[in-house]
Structure 1
Amino acid sequence: MSEEVIVAGWMDYEAGDRDTMLGQLVELGRRTLEEEPGCLDYAMTADPSDERRIRVYERWASQRALDEHFTTPHIKDFRAAAAGLTRVGVSLQAHVIAATRSMR
């Protein structure tokens, strides 16, 4: 069994661009979850304390699933739609998960 990958962090956009980018990311997430069985979770949220920040959380079944994600038609559509938006900062990390346990 391959190890899961979690992508987490944040992206900052010009204040006027954040909500537009968030809308694009929500649509990308919907298509990703529907069309890519290797995507286990995909959530992009507006940070309530920073008008520029989008929080990122993605969970993938494997590194291969994440790599394949970047070759999909919906990623190409997303990149075209987001091309005019201004990102002013980013901090994203990919974490390889060797073990998972419930926290009930």
Structure 2
Amino acid sequence: MAEENAGEIIVAGWMDYEPADRDPMLGHLVEVGRRTREEEPGCLDYAMTADPTDVRRIRVYERWVSQQALDEHFTTAHIKDFRAATTGLTRVGVAMDVFSVGAARSLR
């Protein structure tokens, strides 16, 4: 059995918010993404984007060096600040998966 912290981790999926809450949430995600990329060496990529065809949807993509790096991310001050700032925003759906990367190759 593979060790839980043995390789890169990808988090991918989507979150739906009430249409009036999506853009405010994206604003908060821009800030938390900036801080995550700057302050967390275990973060390889962190991107949250508005879906251009759905006024509720935010697409999620994160890439981490390990499960441990992702776990530590949830304990940071900027995540605590983010959670406090977004408490009043209404999420109406979510589908996210965590993938353990076994191998990767360039698509050039």
What is the TM-score of this pair, normalised by structure 1?
0.98
The residue number in structure 2 matching 1:51 is 55
**Aligned-residue identity in percent:** 74
- The code of the aligned residue for 2:36 comes to T
Q: Alignment length, in residue pairs?
A: 104
Equivalent of residue 8 in structure 2, options 4, 7, 10 = 4
The residue number in structure 2 matching 1:14 is 18
Question: In the TM superposition, what is the alpha-carbon distance from 1:46 to its structure 2 partner?
Answer: 0.1
1:31 aligns with 2:35: yes
SS at match of 2:89: coil
Unaligned runs of 5+ in 2: none
Provide the aligned C-alpha RMSD in A: 0.9
SS at match of 1:102: coil
The residue number in structure 2 matching 1:68 is 72
Query: Matches of 1:103 and 1:54 in 2, distance apart?
Result: 26
Question: In the TM superposition, what is the alpha-carbon distance from 1:2 to its structure 2 partner?
Answer: 3.0
Unaligned runs of 5+ in 1: none
Moved over 3 A (4+): none
